[in-house]
Amino acid sequence: MIDLWPYPTGSRISSGASPSSGASFDLDQKTQRLGELEHAVAEGGVWADPERARRVVEELKALKGWVEPYNALRKRLDEARGLNELADAESQSAETREVEELRRELEAEADGIAGELEKLELRNMLQGPDDARDALLTIHPGAGGTESQDWAEMLMRMYVRWAERHGFKVEVLDLLEGEEAGIKSADIQISGRYAYGLLKAEKGVHRLVRISPFDAQSRRHTSFASVFVYPVVDEDIEIEIRDDDLRVDTFRASGKGGQHVNKTSSAVRITHLPSGIVVSCQQERSQHKNKATALKMLKARLYERAVEAREAKKAEVDKQKMDIAFGNQIRSYVFQPYTMVNDHRTDLKVSDVHKVMDGDLDPFIEAFLKRFGSKAA
C-alpha cells in the first residue's frame, strides 16, 4: 500500500486523515464566501459602484486561488487512492509487470501530491495583512567602494532572476550606477500575488566572501549590502501626505538612456521633510510619471514605517519578536575558499552558491516562513 497522504493526522496541513474537510485552510469558510460573491456578481448589483466592483473582483480572485487548487488536489488524491486500491486487488492474484509499473506511477503521483501540499502549506503561512501585496525592494551597498557596489548589483540580478522564475513583473524604478562597476542604489518593484509575503524573508544585510576581481593581488574580500523590502500600498489605503511636507527636486536622469535622458530634467527626487525619507525616480521620460511613481514609493515607505512602529510596540510585550529580528547579517555567500550560502536565521546551508545567485532562493524563503511563520515581519 502506497502512502498517498504524506502528512500525519493533526499536522498543519491535515485536519484528519484526508483533506476533504479543509479545516486547516478554512476551506469551508472560503467556499461559502466564494459562493456569496459569485451570486452577488451574477445579480449584477456590484457593478453600479466601480470601487466596490474592484474589491469584489480582487476578493474573488484571491478566494479562487485557494479553493480551486485545493479542490483539484483533492480530486487528484481521490483518483490516486482508487488506482492504489486497484493495484492492491490485482496484486492479490499475481504480481505482474503491469502492477509493478502502476505502483511506480503511484509513487511518483504520491510525491507530486506531497509537493503540491507543500506549496499550499507555504501559502497558508502568508496570512499577514500585507503578504499578498506587490513588493518594493531597495538595495544599498555597504562600505567598501567598488567591491560592495558590485555585490549590490549581483544581489539585484539575483532578485530579478528569482522574480522572473515566478512569473512576477519586474520594474526598475530607480538605479544609481557606480563609477567603475556595480550600483550605488537600486529601487525595484516586483509585482505579483504574495511578492511581498515571500520577499520579506530577504530583509537585512547580506554578506559576500570572495577573491575580489578588483584586487590586483587577488586577495579575499568581505563585502556587505543591505536589502529592504516594503509592501506596495494600494491607492485606497489612507496615508496622509501633505504638500507642505514635501520638497520636490528635478534633475537630469543619469546612466544609459539615450539623448533624451541627458537633455531634460525629467528625473524627480522627493524629500518627506517630517520623516527625512528621500525617494527618487528617473525611469520615465515624463517628469509627471516619475513624480507619480516617486510618490507611490514614498507612500510605501511611510506605510512600512507605520507598520514597524506598531510592531515595535508589540515587541516590547512579546520578547519572542527578538528571535526573528535581523542582526548585522542574515545570510553569507561564500565563493572562496569553498562555496556555501549560509542563512544565519534558519541554519539552512546550500553548497551551490552559483545556483542561488541565479535566483534559486525558494529554499531559503520556505525555511524562513516555516520557522517563523506569521511572526515574520
Q: Report the pLDDT value the prediction gives residue 175, as an integer from 0 to 100.
A: 93
Q: How many residues does the chain have?
A: 377
Higher pLDDT, 234 or 41: 41
- At 8, the pLDDT band (50, 70, 90 cuts) reads very low
Contact 115, 178 (CB under 8 A): no
Task: Report the b/e string of 172-190 with b at 16+ CB within 10 A.
Answer: ebbbebbeeebbbbbbbbb
Which of 104-108, 238-242, 345-349 comes out lowest in average pLDDT? 238-242
Above pLDDT 90, what percent of the chain? 32
Name the average pLDDT for the chain.
80
What local confidence, expressed as pLDDT, does residue 255 receive?
Answer: 60
369, burial (CB in 10 Å: exposed 0-12, middle 13-18, buried 19+): buried
Contact in structure between 377 and 310 (CB atoms under 8 Å): no
How far apart are alpha carbons 307 and 291 in whole angstroms?
A: 24
> Cα–Cα distance between 137 and 159 in angstroms, integer?
9
The pTM of the whole model exceeds 0.75: no
Residues 198-218: tens digit of each pLDDT: 999 999 999 999 998 888 788
Q: Which amino acid is at 104?
A: R
Edge-to-edge strand ranges of the sheet holding 246-251: 246-251, 267-272, 277-281
**pLDDT tens digits for 120-155?**
777 778 878 888 889 999 999 988 788 999 999 999
pLDDT band, very low/low/confident/very high, at 170 (cuts 50, 70, 90): very high
pLDDT at 304 over 90: no
CA distance linking residue 134 with residue 237, whole number of Å: 14
Is the pLDDT assigned to residue 77 strictly greater than 80? yes
